[in-house]
Homo-oligomer: A and B are copies of this chain.
Amino acid sequence: MEFELLILGTSSALPAHGRFPSCYALQLEDRSYLFDCGEGAQIRMSDFGVSPQRIHQIFISHLHGDHFFGLPGVITSQALLGRTAPLSIFGPPELEKLMRPLVTQKDTDLPFELRFESIDPLGDKRLIFEDDRVEIGCFPLQHRVPTMGFWVKEKAVALNILPEAIQKYGLSVEQIKSIKKGEDLTLADGSWIANQKLTLPPFRTRTFVYCTDTRIQWELAELFHQPDLLLHETTFTEEFAQRANETGHATAAQAAELAKRMQAGKLITGHYSSRFRDLQPVLEEALSIYPDTWLGEEGGRYRVLRTRVGEPPAFERTLSP
């Protein structure tokens, strides 16, 4: 299964230099989980070929406009596209009150259920959503208004049985089912075969951690160990460290140091100040501390490949032409 972060918007508060406000889609095959939804999100989806129909959950980190002003467009355009599947939006408690009047004027009544799930951004790290593919949770960040980060953990999938084991033991459908779930095999003669001898090693369950907007929080290294992808805001470079601290943002060097402490598979940068036309200084600052850094770019697709336990994690990216 594909596990891909598609970046739709990397700008901080002021869109500039062709960059759009925050929006990130984590894609697992035909499903997209959207993290933040800045103005123009639906335009970026159109630009990069993401059908809004594949989004069923949207997670809003906080109520600054550059993180949620794209919601009304994403919601109402889906009505025009004939959506019928429910759409859930997880975000701070005030979000529903701000959004619902905008998207449910009489003429544009929605042909699908729109659910707002009110989340307290200041609560402890916890699970807020799960389906058959992922668990998604939140944790508190430190910004000028209540803000949360999000984590995503892929669920384990059924094990692959070794073809020779099926033949050797003449496995029944029932036995195959239980082995795929990880159970050991007990034969008719009472002898016992460990699951590992019957199956290929399981797939690694991949993880994504999303931190924007926030002042640097070193204690996150205690919450997350070796996430595959860490999207951390890098609004500024060290030259503007004081401004970063005052405005509740992080520098590229800080994000890289945090990635190092977490031993992240890849740090992906983002949420760039409009003062940076060229992002090379941001990337270079992060790379000097953490070589496993990728510059977050709009239209970029950042993948964690499917590997098995015992194999090293593998990554791949495709940038927009």
Chain A interface residues toward B at CB < 8 A: 13-18, 20-21, 39-40, 42-43, 46-47, 63-66, 69-70, 72-73, 76-77, 80-81, 94, 97-98, 101-103, 105, 107-108, 144-145
In angstroms, Cα B39 to Cα A72, docked, is 9
- Asked if A64 and B15 sit within 8 Å, CB to CB, the answer is no
- Asked if A73 and B65 sit within 8 Å, CB to CB, the answer is yes
Number of copies: 2
In angstroms, Cα B69 to Cα A103, docked, is 10
Complex contacts, A72 vs chain B, CB 8 Å: 39, 65, 69
Complex contacts, A47 vs chain B, CB 8 Å: 18
Q: Which 4 residue pairs are nearest across A and B when measured between Cβ atoms?
A: A40-B40, A39-B73, A15-B43, A65-B76
In angstroms, Cα B73 to Cα A20, docked, is 12
Specify which of B15, B21, B66, B108 is in contact with A65 (CB 8 Å cutoff).
Answer: B108
> Do A46 and B15 form a contact, CB below 8 Å, given A65-B72, A76-B65?
yes
Complex contacts, A39 vs chain B, CB 8 Å: 39-40, 42-43, 69-70, 72-73
- Asked if A108 and B42 sit within 8 Å, CB to CB, the answer is no
In angstroms, Cα B107 to Cα A197, docked, is 59
